[in-house]
């Protein structure tokens, strides 16, 4: 009996880490369970914007919403690791027309960003494509959305996928707040972090986003400023609201 008890004690003592403790897991690995969605809207065309007074012009550079998204991808990967599950939705028609105007291979350049940082790039053609990906882009029973960020033109009622691209000073492709009710609430983690870096989202669309998804979205109460596309900022006197 004594021998048996001594043997049992030795086995427990030698294997106590695996016997009593759950295997340790990296914090970032735990955080990475889900999907972080980044959306880039399209740029204006210079042929329209050059008709405006200079102070009212948009998108003198084609890549405001691409560079901002790239900087955010870099930030997330630095914080959580290179395997952090990022999906990047980019409005393709806007970059096709701007590429033709600029005479540069913008589509290839955008694809090279996704290849460099090893993120999943999905080209979209309408605002409703965002909802389609939210609802069915992954098995939402297993893979919840843990983050959503929008970089692009917007007003208080809609994400404008294009602006001053097809028509001067107007949008022909958007995701309106009234369409948000088509989102399946179960697609989002309860702790999902959502933010729009478009103009005026916080004035109306943020409230409708929460009503549709159950998750708060930070939005600006006025204009946002992409003069430094590495870090979009609020214009003077504007605040964040959700």
The tens digit of pLDDT for each residue in 149-166 reads: 999 999 999 999 999 888
pLDDT for 4 beyond 80:
no
Tens digit of each residue's pLDDT (9 = 90 or more) over 112-138 = 999 999 999 999 999 999 999 999 999
pLDDT in tens, 200-212: 999 999 999 999 9
- Give CA–CA dist 176/1, Å, rounded: 76
User: Of 37-41, 57-61, 107-111, which gets the smallest average pLDDT?
Assistant: 57-61
Q: What is the mean pLDDT of the chain?
A: 88
What are the tokens at 102? Answer: 């600029």
Average pLDDT, integer, range 225-229 = 93
Please tell me the predicted confidence (pLDDT) of residue 49. Answer: 84
Mean pLDDT calculated for residue range 31-41: 88
- What pLDDT is attached to residue 195? 98
- pLDDT score recorded for residue 26: 40
Q: Which residues of the chain form beta strands (DSSP E)?
A: 35-40, 86-91, 120-124, 145-151, 153-154, 158-160, 174-176, 188-196, 217-220, 224-225, 233-234, 240-241
Does pLDDT of 99 surpass 90? yes
pLDDT digits (tens, 9 = 90+) for 165-202: 888 888 999 999 999 999 999 999 999 999 999 999 99
What's the alpha-carbon Rg for the chain, to the nearest Å?
23
Structural domains in the chain, sorted by start: 32-241 (3.40.50)
Q: Which pLDDT belongs to residue 36?
A: 98
Nearest residue to 10 via CA among 93, 2, 116: 2
């Amino acid at each position: 009996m004594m021998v048996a008890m001594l043997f049992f004690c030795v086995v427990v003592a030698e294997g106590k880490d695996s016997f009593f403790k759950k295997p340790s897991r990296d914090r970032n690995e735990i955080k990475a369970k889900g999907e972080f969605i980044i959306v880039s809207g399209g740029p204006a065309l210079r042929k329209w914007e050059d008709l405006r007074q200079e102070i009212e012009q948009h998108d003198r550079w084609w890549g405001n919403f691409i560079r901002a998204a790239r900087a955010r991808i870099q930030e997330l990967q630095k914080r959580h690791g290179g395997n952090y599950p990022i999906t990047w939705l980019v409005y393709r028609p806007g970059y096709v027309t701007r590429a033709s105007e600029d005479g540069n291979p913008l589509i290839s350049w955008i694809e090279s960003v996704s290849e460099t940082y090893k993120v999943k790039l999905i080209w979209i053609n309408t605002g409703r494509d965002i909802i389609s990906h939210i609802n069915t882009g992954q098995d939402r029973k297993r893979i919840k959305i843990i983050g959503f960020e929008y970089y692009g033109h917007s007003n208080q009622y809609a994400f404008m996928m294009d602006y001053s691209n097809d028509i001067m000073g107007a949008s022909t492709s958007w995701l309106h707040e009234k369409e948000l009710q088509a989102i399946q609430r179960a697609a989002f983690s309860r702790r999902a972090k959502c933010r729009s870096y478009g103009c005026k989202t916080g004035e109306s669309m943020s409230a409708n986003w929460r009503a549709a998804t159950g998750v708060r979205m930070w939005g600006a109460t006025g204009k946002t400023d992409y003069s430094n596309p590495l870090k979009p900022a609020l214009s003077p006197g504007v605040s964040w609201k959700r």
